[in-house]
Amino acid sequence: MKILAIESSCDETAAAVVEDGTRVLSSVVASQVAVHHVYGGVVPELASRKHVEAIVPVVREAIETAGIDRSELDAVAVTQGPGLVGALLVGFSYAKAFAWGLGIPCVGVNHLEGHMSSIFLGDNPPSFPYVALLVSGGHTSLYYVTGPTEYELMGQTRDDAVGEAYDKVSKMLGLGYPGGVVIDGLAGKGDPKAISFPRPYLDKKAFDFSFSGLKSAVGRHLKEFPEPDEERLRNIAAGFQESVAEVLCHKLMYAAKVKGCRHVAVVGGVAANSRVRDMVAKAASRRGLSFHTPELKYCGDNAAMIGAIGYHRFMEGSTLGLNDDAYSRARLPSNTKHK
């Protein structure tokens, strides 16, 4: 089954053709980083306008790169939410119209489920059950995953998501947007022990997160050293990143212990962070656990992951009507279990 997938939840316009939920025939992403960089973050109105400009050529390129004709498509899958509602509506409306024009089903999927399914686009997917840490610009959550569309939410952030904290700290340091990439690169040149920031565990035997205090700690340090030199900037970045990585790693390892899982995964945009990947990989190895993470190209927002989960939702019989709408706030799928 060949599915055209479309993603426009934030600042990437993406389309892909995915076969049977795992084989990526094409994946095209049009990034808006250059547009939003000067503002230090995503400007929703500009994002929506850029999606309107990019959606047609991106979809056309995805189909052409896949080497198929649109008549060979069996369904369309599209991000329904959560995200910036204006941005979502561009891809969502286009997907419904595209599917209606071809007379094929359209499937609306949860963006978070897409990130969870990105782990199955590579050569080394985890076996069920496993514990997944989903970390991105807007979300930081722990899930116990028992099937392709079966999750138990174990914990989530009470305030800033990890990616949001990275962006805000980057702005404090005058490093620009996107903060995750900039801080990761700078931290690699610094000493993580030179400046010790607090580890916001909240409770080492619980699964919720909070990163606003860590962000504030960086702000207090900058008040004491308002014009840091290059060495101090590198050490601030390294100290901040070390704190984030230790907290994320501890929570994931503890969740795996509680659930008795032999497989752990990290997904989402922050899964591309070099220190998080390295620390989790080593911690998992010490405990005899199998560690899984998507290829770097599938960590950030992309449409291939939407096609992956779209396949499973379609097989369950979940399709959209023309009157269905996008949603901006995070909500879990109807069959997601709660702790």
Binding site for Fe cation, by residue number, is: 111, 115, 301
- 6 CB neighbour count, 10 Å cutoff: 27
Q: Is 188 exposed, middle or buried (0-12, 13-18, 19+ CB in 10 A)?
A: middle
| Angle (deg, nearest 10), helices 44-66 and 85-102 | 30
- 296 CB neighbour count, 10 Å cutoff: 10
Binding region for substrate: 134-138, 167, 180, 184, 273
Q: Decide if 84 contacts 41 (C-beta within 8 A).
A: no
Binding region: 111, 115, 134-138, 167, 180, 184, 273, 301
If DSSP codes are grouped into helix, strand and coil, which group holds residue 264? strand
Q: Distance between CA atoms of 94 and 37, rounded to whole angstroms? A: 27
Q: Distance between CA atoms of 87 and 333, rounded to whole angstroms? A: 21
Alpha-carbon separation of residue 10 from 45, 57, 116, 172, 296 (angstroms): 11, 18, 17, 22, 18
If DSSP codes are grouped into helix, strand and coil, which group holds residue 106? strand
If DSSP codes are grouped into helix, strand and coil, which group holds residue 295? coil
If DSSP codes are grouped into helix, strand and coil, which group holds residue 107? strand
Q: Which of 128, 132, 126 is nearest to 267 (CA)?
A: 132
Chain-centre distance for alpha carbon 332 = 15
Q: Decide if 61 contacts 311 (C-beta within 8 A).
A: no
